[in-house]
């Protein structure tokens, strides 16, 4: 994905290339952190090797944040009645523009299928993201692209979701 508003474009890794340095921090060895008092944000993403959370800054200041364990997504891409070999698929959810009530962690991941059309995404925030095929009219990792065969899936906390993209169309 090439989404400029997704704080996670790689599994389990918070992007810092587009974030204001005064708006992100790391905890110390005891789990404590410090943000400048003038930070004006509505929510915080908490990313850890074991899981993630999205919470309000007020709740973050009041007490411990309970992380949800990462989920995993695996599946197959079909193009017609054949495996979608060596094709791009994407998994995405939310955006930084989400409402204050939304507790999902925004992300946008992309991977390629293998020769049998199989794919997997590790360290996926639990929730209901969209899974789809990525179609690029010109070869290469940059340039225009479209999402096709969008499918909403449920990613359980600490478990694997199995999914299938495509393979349900009609020959014309």
Backbone angles phi, psi at 54, to 5 degrees: -120, 130
Q: Is 167 exposed, middle or buried (0-12, 13-18, 19+ CB in 10 A)?
A: middle
**Can you give the pTM of this predicted structure?**
0.78
Instruction: Note the pLDDT tens digit of each residue in 34-78.
Output: 766 666 667 778 888 888 888 887 787 787 888 999 999 999 999
pLDDT of residue 85: 95
Asked if residue 1 has pLDDT above 50, the reply is: yes
The span from the CA of 13 to the CA of 109, in Å, is 11
Average pLDDT of the chain?
A: 78
Average the pLDDT over 74-101 and give the result: 81
pLDDT of residue 10: 61
Average the pLDDT over 137-141 and give the result: 67
pLDDT of residue 73: 96
pLDDT of residue 3: 44
The span from the CA of 64 to the CA of 59, in Å, is 8
How does strand 71-79 pair with strand 160-166?
Answer: parallel
Instruction: Note the pLDDT tens digit of each residue in 126-136.
Output: 999 999 998 87
């Amino acid at each position: 994905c090439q989404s400029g508003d997704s704080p996670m474009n790689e599994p389990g890794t918070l992007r810092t290339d587009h974030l204001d340095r005064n708006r992100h921090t790391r905890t110390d060895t005891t789990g404590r952190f410090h943000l400048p008092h003038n930070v004006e944000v509505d929510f915080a993403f908490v990313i850890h090797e074991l899981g993630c959370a999205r919470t309000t800054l007020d709740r973050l200041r009041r007490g411990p944040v309970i992380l949800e364990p990462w989920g995993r997504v695996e599946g197959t891409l079909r193009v017609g009645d054949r495996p979608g070999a060596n094709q791009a698929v994407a998994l995405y959810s939310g955006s930084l523009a989400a409402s204050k009530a939304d507790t999902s962690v925004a992300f946008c991941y992309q991977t390629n299928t293998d020769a049998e059309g199989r794919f997997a995404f590790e360290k996926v925030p639990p929730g209901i993201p969209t899974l789809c095929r990525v179609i690029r009219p010109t070869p290469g990792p940059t340039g225009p692209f479209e999402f096709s065969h969008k499918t909403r899936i449920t990613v359980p906390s600490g478990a694997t979701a199995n999914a299938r993209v495509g393979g349900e169309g009609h020959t014309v």
